[in-house]
Amino acid sequence: MEEFSDLPSRDVFGGTSQWISGTFHHFNTYLYLYTALAGISAHLLLFKYGEWHMQAPVLFRLYVIATLSTTILAIVVHGYETGTWRSLSLNITFMFSLFSSIGIYRVFFHRLKNFPGPIMARTTKLWHVWKCITARSRNHHVLDNIHKQYGDFVRTGPSEITIFHPEVFTAIDGPRTKCTKADWYDILLPELAINTTRDKVEHDHRRKIWNTAFTSSDLVEYQHGVVAKLAGDLERIVERAARDGEVVRFSECLNWFSFDVMGEFAFAQSFHMLQNQQWHHAVTLIREASKMLGIFNPAPWLTQIGFHIGGNWLHGVRDWNEGLGWCRIRMAERIETQDVMKKTDISSHLIEASRNAGMITKQDRMWLNGDSITLVVAGSDTVSSTLTFLFHTLALHPHHQTTLFHELSNLHDCTNQSALAKLPHLNGVINEILRLHPAVPTGGNRLTPAEGITVAGTYIPGNTNIVAPRYTIARLESCFENAGEFMPERWYEIGGGGRTKGFAPFGMGRYACVGKQLALAELRLVTALLVSKYEFRIVDGKGGDDDGADIVEGMRDQFTAQPGGELKLRFWLRGAEGE
C-alpha cells in the first residue's frame, strides 16, 4: 500500500471541509451584516431627506421586483426551501434595519421630538390612517380627541404638527407667510389646478386669470342667472312635495342643485339632475371615489400608491379615474366649442386666457383639466354639505326660521343678491353654520419654510407639515363664547360673542377660496327662497318626527365634509298646518 502513501489523509480532507464550511458561515454572516447596513444607509443617506410621496409607486414596484428577483435567484442556487428562507430572511433583515433606523431617529432625534403626541404618530402616518378607518372617516373627531388629550400643539406625524390655536390661520396663510402648500396637494398630478399647485409663482399667475374671470360683468350676470334658475327648479320640487304632503329627500336634492350649478358654471352644461331627479353617472363616480380620501388623506404616499398601482382592481381608484376622465372629455369638448359659444361660463375665460398666450399647449390642457376637476368636485360638495347642515339646524330651531321669515318679508325680491348680502340674521345663520360645520373640517395642510415659523409663541421648525383643523378651532371657547351652541346673533349683535380670529371657512390670503362669492350667493338664495315660503321639520323614512342626529354625528371628513345621513324634510306653506 506504499503507492498510496503520498495521498492526503482524512484529516486533511476534513480540515478542508471545515475551512469551506467556515468560509460560507462567515460569508453568510457578512451578507446579513451588509444587508442590515444597507437598510440603515437607505434611511440615513436617502429617505431622511426631501419628499418621497411621488416616488412611492416607483419604490413599491422596485421593491416587489427586487424581492421576486432575489427569491428566484436564491431558489436556483440553493433549492426551493433553502433559497426561499434565505431570500425571506435577507428581506426581513433589510426592512427591519431600515424601519428600526427610521423609528429610532423619529422618536429620539427628530427636530419635532419635544412636541407631545401619540407615540405611534411619531413613527408613521399609517397610525393616523388606521385611526381614520376605525373612526369611519371621521378625522375631525380623531383630531378633536387628540387636542383634548395633548393640548394646542400636537405631533400627529413624523414631520407634522397639528395646531389648535386661532393664530395658526394668519401664520400659515396670512399676507406675510412664507408657508407653501404641503405634499397632499400633489394629488391631481400630472393635472394642475389653481387650488392644488404648490408653486407660488404659478398659483399667483393662475389666480390673476381666475380673479379677472370672476369679476367680469358677463360672468357675474351669468352665475346669478344660473343660481336663480336652478334654485327655482329646487323650489318646484319642494312646492310639489308640500302640496302633495310628501317627504323630500332634501340632502339628495341639494347635491343635485350644487352639482347642476357647477356643471353650468364650469362647462355651460348642466348635469340636469334636478330636472331628471336622478343622479348623473359621472357625479356618482366622483362621489364614490371621494370616500377613499376619508381614509387615506393623512398619508399622501399611500394615496399615490393606490392611484398608480390599484387603478385596475381598486373600486374607488377606478371610479376616481373614470370621473376625472369624464371631466377631461367635457373640457376637450368645451375647447372645441369655444369659438361658437358666448363668453359665459368660467371655462370660456380660462380657455381664452390660454389662447391669448398662443396656441393651447399640453401644459395649458393640464391646467384646464385640473381646473375643471376642481370646479366640479370642490365647488359642489362644499355648497351641498353646508346647505344640508343649514336646513338641518333650522329644522331643529324653528324660531330661527320665524326670525328669518320676518327679515325676508321686508324684501320685494328674494333673488336680489345685493339685498340678501345685507340681511344680518340670514348671514349670521350662514356664518354660524360655516363655523360649526366647516366645509373643509381638517384639510388645507401647509409646509413651513426652512427657517420655520412661530405661532402663538411656539416655534415650529422648518419643513414641517402644519394641520389647522377648522372644526376644532372654531369650537374653542377661547375663540367663541358658548362655542358649541348655534347662535347666529353673535355675528351682528354687540356683545353677541362673535370673534373672527378662529373663523376662516374660505381660507385667507393668496389661497383664499376664489369661488367664495358664488358659494355665498347659492347659500343665501336657496335659504331665502325656501324659508320665505315654507316651514319644515325633520322626519324619518316613514314620515314620523326625527332629529336627524346622524347628519351631524355621522359626518365624514373626506377632505370636504359629507353629512352622515340623509336629511328628509316635510315642507308646508307658511300659515298652513305642518301635518
List, as residue ranges, the binding site for heme.
Answer: 513
The backbone torsions φ and ψ at residue 561, rounded to the nearest 5 degrees and listed phi first, read: -75, 135
In Å, how far from its chain's centre is CA 75?
45
- Please give the span between the terminal C-alpha atoms of the chain, in angstroms, as a whole number: 120
* Residues 67 and 126 sit within 8 Å (Cβ to Cβ): no
Query: What are the cell numbers at 301?
Result: 404616499
Q: Which residues are annotated as a binding site?
A: 513
Non-local (6+) Cβ contacts of 358 within 8 A are none
The number of beta carbons lying within 10 Å of the beta carbon of residue 578 is 12
Closest by CA to 157, choosing from 293, 44, 300, is: 300
| Chain centre to alpha carbon of residue 281 | 22
Q: How far is residue 318's CA from residue 530's CA, in Å, rounded to a whole number? A: 38
Q: CA 47, CA 54: separation in Å to the nearest integer?
A: 13
Cβ atoms 187, 303 nearer than 8 A: yes
What radius of gyration, in Å, describes the C-alpha atoms of the chain?
30
The Cα–Cα gap between 500 and 480 comes to 9
In this structure, what C-alpha cell is assigned to residue 102? 427610521
Backbone angles phi and psi of 556, in degrees to 5: -105, 140
> What is the 8-class DSSP label of residue 339?
G
In sign, the C-alpha dihedral spanning 214, 215, 216, 219 is positive
C-alpha torsion angle, residues 314, 319, 325, 331 (rounded to 10): -150
Contact 526, 517 (CB under 8 A): no
DSSP secondary structure of 127-173: HHHHHHHHTTS-HHHHHHHHHHHH-SEEEEETTEEEE-STTHHHHHH
Q: How far is CA 19 from CA 24, 124, 234, 375, in A?
A: 9, 46, 88, 73
Q: Which of 183, 186, 187, 143 is nearest to 290 (CA)?
A: 187
User: How far is 263 from 330, CA to CA, in rounded Å?
Assistant: 10
* Nearest CA among 574, 571, 576 for reference residue 235: 571
